[in-house]
Amino acid sequence: MSENKKKVVVRMAPSPTGYFHIGSVRTALFNFLFARQNEGTFIFRSEDTNDARSKKEYEDNILESLKWLGLSYDMFMKQSERTEVYVSYLKKMIENGSAYISKDEAATATRKGEEIEQRSEVIRLRNPNKKIIFEDLVRGTIEFDTTESGDFVIAKSLTEPLYHLAVVVDDHETGATHIIRGEDILSSTPRQILIQEAIGATRPIYAHIPLILAPDRSKLSKRYGATSLVEYQKQGYLPEAILNYMALLGWNPGTEKEIFTLPELIEAFSIEKVQKGGAIFDEKKLRWVNKEHIKLQKEKIIEIIKEKISNKYPEQTIDVRILELIFERIEVLTDIDRLIEDGELDYFFNEPALTKEKIAWKTSTPEEAKKHLEHVLTIIGDSDAVMKYAEEAGKGNVLWPLRYALSGKEKSPDPFTLLSILGPDVAKERIEKAITIL
């Protein structure tokens, strides 16, 4: 960065009125990446002036989520602790005539879409009724006519600033150079620019990123991914995978590369490559990205699998091939619990319960299944011979009763994998048991 270039300052400014939303992850990530890439400052600002809805538990959840994701901030601030600052600006604006106390009945005002009660006395910005033109790094040249906004309310009283005023004052005081946020807040920009001009603030550079959409291109809902980040944590997604996937929603690196670590994202990210169109949230793709990151952490994940098996079967020796088998089958960490804790792989450690009907399910008669298993017993130590016999007699006729006899499950690894891991002695005992049942 050259000495005369202004240092980049960006901010993540959520209202703590709910748990950290998965969509907010991307806003935080884009700001973080832009700051780190430019050796700038990343500010976390809690917009907690809404006393009725803001809760500390939500703020704590947001902060814990950022920590889990590895998105460290350089400065922390709370709007609820800055009332005196907002009061000083309101007084100056009233004194210089850019704002005034409205004595007539106030129109209903809003704060981030929330209606506030009507009052007979509020503070309004004196709107110059002008056209606002600004360059957006994502959307290009944008023009608004502010006439229709009228003299809009900026505070319910001298000590109760509303969203637009508090945001502009905070951005000005912290020297925010870039405002990277969702396009759903784009309509707020002209009002904020008018307030900037009224207090003599430098206009920051804006970048309004596209919305995240459901597969049917509708607004993201709880049905399609719009849940809190903590739910994805509970489902066993890795923070690295969440960041990787969210980065790809609306941003294209311009290469075929899809799997990124956070340092790689910092190096590759470019705000100019953020797309205008809405980004589709695809949970299948998220699971794929997560599996790829699981592969990058194989040693660590294998240890988790090993520990869980040891807890479930403390007296059993753990074959490394079982660890590999489980590792290959997981997409999220909760898959480990499904495979181990729920007993899906119990057949590796305990003799399975068998039924006559299931053993003979894919053969014409129980007698036929019995005949095939008896023949397999004579060649059990030669996998090639077993496969040759299955090809001659019909794979389903031979391999189904063999696999079921070994696992007692309709779904399990192929019989040759089972034979290899269980060993010939255990396999022989289980086949003989199945023959007895038939």
Find the domain containing 414 and state its range: 356-437
Give tens-digit pLDDT for 329-365.
999 999 999 888 777 889 999 999 999 999 888 777 8
pTM of the predicted structure, to 2 decimals: 0.87
Average pLDDT for 307-320: 90
CA distance 50 to 280: 32
Backbone angles phi, psi at 8, to 5 degrees: -70, 130
CATH of the domain at 422: 1.10.10.350
Specify the number of domains making up the chain.
Answer: 2
> Which tops the pLDDT comparison, 196 or 219?
196
pLDDT value for 215? 82
Q: Is 433 found in the same domain as 391?
A: yes
pLDDT value for 114? 52
Among the listed residues 222, 257, 284, 411, the single catalytic one is 222
Average pLDDT for 210-220: 83
Burial of 118 (0-12, 13-18, 19+ CB in 10 A): exposed
pLDDT value for 2? 42
Please enumerate, as own/partner, the contacts of 380-389 that have beta carbons within 8 Å and a separation of 24 or more.
380/419, 380/424, 380/427, 380/428, 380/431, 381/424, 383/416, 383/419, 383/420, 386/415, 386/416, 386/419, 387/416
In the residue annotation, 222 being an active-site residue is answered as: yes
Whether 89 maps to a domain, the answer reads no
Q: Is 343 found in the same domain as 364?
A: no
Q: Which of 332, 348, 364 is the last residue of a domain?
A: 348
Whether 14 maps to a domain, the answer reads no
Whether 361 maps to a domain, the answer reads yes
pLDDT value for 106? 47
Average pLDDT for 52-77: 94
Give tens-digit pLDDT for 249-308.
999 998 999 999 999 999 999 999 999 888 889 999 999 999 999 999 999 999 999 999
CA distance 359 to 292: 37
**Range from 34-43, 216-225, 372-381 carrying the lowest mean pLDDT:** 216-225
Instruction: Using the predicted structure, report yes or no on whether residue 223 has a pLDDT greater than 70.
Output: no
Instruction: Using the predicted structure, report yes or no on whether residue 117 has a pLDDT greater than 70.
Output: no
pLDDT value for 115? 52
Contact 49, 10 (CB under 8 A): no
Q: Which of 320, 348, 376 is the last residue of a domain?
A: 348
Burial of 423 (0-12, 13-18, 19+ CB in 10 A): exposed
Angle at alpha carbon of residue 306, lines to 303 and 311, rounded to 5°:
125
pLDDT value for 363? 75
Q: Is 383 found in the same domain as 321?
A: no
